[in-house]
Structure 1
Amino acid sequence: MNPAFATCDLCDAHKNEAPEVFRVLPPVFKDFGARRVFCGPVVTVKCFEDNSLVKAAVDSVGFDDTPAGRIGKVLVVDGAGSLRRALLGGNLGAAAARNGWAGVLLDGCVRDVAELAVQDVGIRALASNPMPTEKKNQGLQDLAVQIQGVWVHPGDWLYADADGMVVSATRLV
């Protein structure tokens, strides 16, 4: 289930909210997945050039079944903005789509761009880089992260469309 929304309309309606309640992410992310519009409750991972926890997340169930229907989650990854290694590639993108994730936002890089482009999942990242990560099982999950200077908390709602991405402390649509 992906409700209809426009981030511009959300900004018009919530522009005067406190930053703890409504935030706009900087326009530095590129689209890599087939799904260009997505939203959902946030799950967070913080890692640096090690995608072990990203793999564990996308290999898990990426949705909640509710009386109103299935709601896909959005994995938000604080990769510290590293452009040296890719945190998500074709195999992990396919896992995210297969396991019902609405989207993945990476403050870092992806690889296997052609493979990601056909996956039915929203994928936003800073850039692509063919170098894989080291697997050291390091990182943290389910904590507040800073994405390009904007705080994102587990349970926030992320909304993404062609105009950008916004984060809200509560569900908006």
Structure 2
Amino acid sequence: MQLRYPAVFTVAACVVCGPVLAQSATEHHVWQDKRKFEPYSRTAESITGTIRLSGNPDFAAPGSKMAITFGNGKKVGLTSMGASWRQWDETSGSKATAEVFKLSSDPGALRNGNTLCGDPKSEPARYVVFLEKSSYGASPLLGMAVFASKDAPRDINSPNLCGTFNYGTN
């Protein structure tokens, strides 16, 4: 009988460890790759145009760097503030993994004289948040939310949301 209890505890420990190990796999998201993203929404088409991300293999590593280049050639540095699993999609109440980046500066006027957050001097864009969004069986979309808040946003309902943009990932 003394051998049965250690065996039961060993099996239980292995069952408990299995899912934990599976969850620790490294995540990889479309915004981490060096690539261009074509506008998928009318907002993205009229304001940013095609965007290019320089790539960042260090997912959610606070302080890691990458850059975004907008359709008119303006390039802005991005610094990761980390990632979270919260409600980031403005059209659904479901949670998603998203990474928050601090902009090195507001890019100013983009396509057609439009800006990310209104007047870049009085209400500059300060943060962008990237997330993957489903597109009904096709490749995922890249979602981008822009905030003018002085503090990093916690979710899509954080103060000073300026706009949301969607891009194709094909």
TM superposition score category, shorter chain reference:
under 0.3
| TM-score of the pair, normalised by structure 1 | 0.25
Greater Rg over alpha carbons, structure: 2
Structure number having the greater strand percentage:
1
| TM-score of the pair, normalised by structure 2 | 0.26
| Higher RCO, 1 vs 2 (CA within 8 Å, ≥6 residues apart) | 1
